[in-house]
Copies of this chain bind each other. A is one copy, B any other.
Amino acid sequence: MLMPTTPAYDELTRTYQRLHRLGHLQALAGWDQAANMPPKGSAARASALAEMAALLHRMRTEPALAQAIERAGAEALDELQRANLREIRRDWRLANALPESLVQRRQLAASRCEHAWRTQRPANDWAGFLDNFREVLALAREEAERLSQSLGLARYDALMECFEPGLTGAVVDRVFGEVRQWLPGLIRRVRDRQAQEAVIAPVGPFPLDAQRRLCERVIGLLGFDFDAGRLDVSTHPFCGGVPEDVRMTTRFRADDFLGSLMGTVHETGHGRYEQNLPRDWLGQPVAEARSMALHESQSLAFEMQLGGHAGFVARLAPLLAEAFGAQPAFAPDNLHRLMTRVKPGFIRVDADEVTYPAHIVLRYEIERPLIEGVIEAADIPALWDAKAAELLGLDTRGNYRDGPLQDVHWPEGLFGYFPCYSLGAMYAAQWFAAMRRATPDLDARLHAGDFAPVFDWLREHIWSQGCRWTTDELARRASGEALNPAHFKAHLEARYLA
Contacts and interface: CB of A to CB of B under 8 A. Distances in A.
A45 interface: yes
A89 interface: no
Nearest to A35: B36
A47 B282 CA distance: 12
A228 B21 contact: no
A40 B225 contact: yes
Interface size class of A (residues with CB under 8 A): 35 or more
26 contacts: A18-B51, A21-B47, A22-B48, A22-B51, A22-B52, A24-B29, A24-B44, A24-B45, A24-B48, A25-B28, A25-B48, A25-B49, A25-B52, A28-B29, A29-B29, A36-B230, A38-B226, A38-B245, A39-B227, A40-B225, A40-B227, A40-B244, A40-B245, A41-B228, A43-B244, A44-B245
A116 interface: no
A36 B225 CA distance: 15
A471 interface: no
Interface string A209-235: 000000000000000011111100000
A216 to B, nearest CB: 13
Contacts of A36: 230
Closest 10 CB pairs of A and B: A41-B245, A24-B48, A40-B228, A21-B51, A44-B244, A21-B48, A25-B25, A40-B227, A41-B244, A38-B227
Contacts of A45: 24, 245
Interface string A479-492: 00000000000000
Interface in A17-39: 18, 21-22, 24-26, 28-29, 32, 36-39
Interface of A: 18, 21-22, 24-26, 28-29, 32, 36-41, 43-45, 47-52, 55, 225-230, 242-245
B24 A26 contact: no
A197 to B, nearest CB: 43
A17 to B, nearest CB: 8
Contacts of A49: 25
Copy number in the complex reads 2
A55 B229 contact: no
Nearest to A25: B25
B44 A242 contact: yes
Contacts of A47: 21, 24
Given A25-B52, A28-B32, A38-B230, 17 more contacts: A21-B47, A21-B50, A21-B51, A21-B52, A22-B48, A24-B29, A25-B28, A28-B28, A28-B29, A38-B226, A38-B227, A38-B229, A38-B245, A40-B244, A40-B245, A41-B228, A41-B244
A475 to B, nearest CB: 30
A24 B44 CA distance: 8
Nearest to A44: B244
Contacts of A51: 18, 21-22
A159 B22 CA distance: 30
Nearest to A27: B48
A25 B29 contact: yes
Contacts of A243: 44
A146 to B, nearest CB: 27
A210 to B, nearest CB: 15
